[in-house]
Amino acid sequence: MNAPKVAIVIVHWNRCNLLEQFLPSVCNTDYENLDVYVVDNASTDNSVAYLREHFPKVKIIELDNNYGYAGGYNRALKFIKADYYVLLNNDIEVPPQWLKPLVSAMEANSAIAACQPKMLDYMHKNMFEYAGASGGYLDSFGYAFCRGRVFDTLENDNGQYDTAQEIFWATGACLCIRAESFHQVSGFDEHFFAHMEEIDLCWRLKLRGHKIFVVPESHVFHVGGGTLNKMSAQKTYLNFRNNLIMLTKNEPIGKLLWLIPLRSCLDLISSLFFIRHGFFSHSAAVHRAHAQYFFHLGKWWKLRRQNSAFHTGMAGRYNGSIVFRYFLQGQKTYTQLQH
């Protein structure tokens, strides 16, 4: 019996040095039925020429503009035929055997629509990486965190989160997803451009009864911040705006009536925190995010029509506030949050 067809798809924009550094490990993946694609978001450097010269077996899809993470994948995946897509950032190093456990887990359980490996830091390989760690969760107020990462606290990987289990969201830095499931929900929401679109995608899949898993038997090493630096005010803007859009799209109406005003207050506190620490552009980004959100509220509200009936008791939602537990009770790790 042939192994399922897998397409590793990397959306790329400039930063040709990342292709040079990380694409060799991807091409050395030990899997028998595999194609590797690079989707170029209209790079202005020599990325495409470099690929053609040095990686002739890699398939290239050239786009006419920079459509971001969400738009790049949506356009490219329409033309890629596979059983599974692996959406992979261009700054990830993979060991040869990383892919098989992901595919095996999904083949063994048809309810799993998407999964992720354990994400480790490329520079500190015994430490979890910010974007996904060992599986993503969401608290009652819409704050995302991970097994191995709560806010900016990253844990060492001592095997404490090596169990495969259902989660709320899988990282977009390395997302293995059934092609059928991706297209069933019309892919990513391009309003997001970048950041949190994978959480929104996983949420919409879960609303349709699918499961999202982490498979720590597989691990990869992620640099992080390859497109937008962690200290980028634009990243702050996208994170705050996109979080509000995501909540509006997916939460029950009754909850939104109190959640959005509360989040507005909490975000105001965040903007004051930025001012206190001298990050004035980030404070301005928070207010710009809210202005854009409320100015276009009608548009975000219409996006709710894409979702089916709400399911209750979805795994991966944390029934509480990680803001309260982290900042007021000093509970900095996923393990502490469980007690």
CA 324 to chain centre: 24
Q: What pLDDT, on a 0 to 100 scale, did the predictor assign at position 306? A: 73
Q: What pLDDT, on a 0 to 100 scale, did the predictor assign at position 52? A: 97
User: Phi and psi (nearest 5°) for 183?
Assistant: -75, -25
Q: 253-276 and 233-250 helices cross at what angle (nearest 10)?
A: 170
**Residue 93 to residue 25: CA distance in whole angstroms:** 6
Q: What pLDDT, on a 0 to 100 scale, did the predictor assign at position 310? A: 58
Does residue 227 carry a pLDDT above 80?
A: no
Could you identify the residue written with the tokens 């404070």? 283
Q: Which residues contact 232 (CB under 8 A, 6 or more apart)?
A: none
Does residue 226 carry a pLDDT above 60?
A: no
Cut 0.85: pTM above it:
yes
Query: What are the pLDDT digits (tens) for 270-324?
Result: 999 999 999 999 999 999 999 999 999 999 999 987 775 555 557 889 999 999 9
Query: What are the pLDDT digits (tens) for 87-136?
Result: 999 999 999 999 999 999 999 999 999 999 999 999 999 999 999 999 99
**Residue 338 to residue 61: CA distance in whole angstroms:** 44
pLDDT-derived band at 338 (thresholds 50, 70, 90) equals: confident
Report all structural domains of the chain as residue ranges with CATH numbers, in order of start. 6-222 (3.90.550.10), 233-337 (no CATH)
The three-class DSSP label of residue 256 is helix
Cβ distance 260 to 241 under 8 Å?
A: no
Strand pairing class (34-40; 6-12): parallel
How crowded is residue 258: how many other Cβ atoms within 10 Å of its Cβ?
Answer: 9
